[in-house]
Amino acid sequence: MILFPIYGMAVLWCARRWRRRWPSFVAVGLGTGAMAAIGVLLGAEDVVFGMRARLLVMLLWGEALVVGGLGLYAAMLPRRRGEMDCHTCGYHLDGLEMSGPRGDTITCPECGQPWKRPEVVELTPIPKGPRRKRTGI
Taking only the tens place, the pLDDT of each residue in 46-91 is: 666 667 777 778 888 888 999 999 999 999 988 776 777 887 887 8
Listed in sequence order, the DSSP H helices in the chain are 3-17, 22-44, 46-49, 51-75
pTM for the model: 0.58
- What integer is the mean pLDDT of 29-54? 78
Q: Does residue 97 surpass a pLDDT of 70?
A: yes
User: Which among 39, 81, 71, 32 has a CA at the least distance from the CA of 57?
Assistant: 39
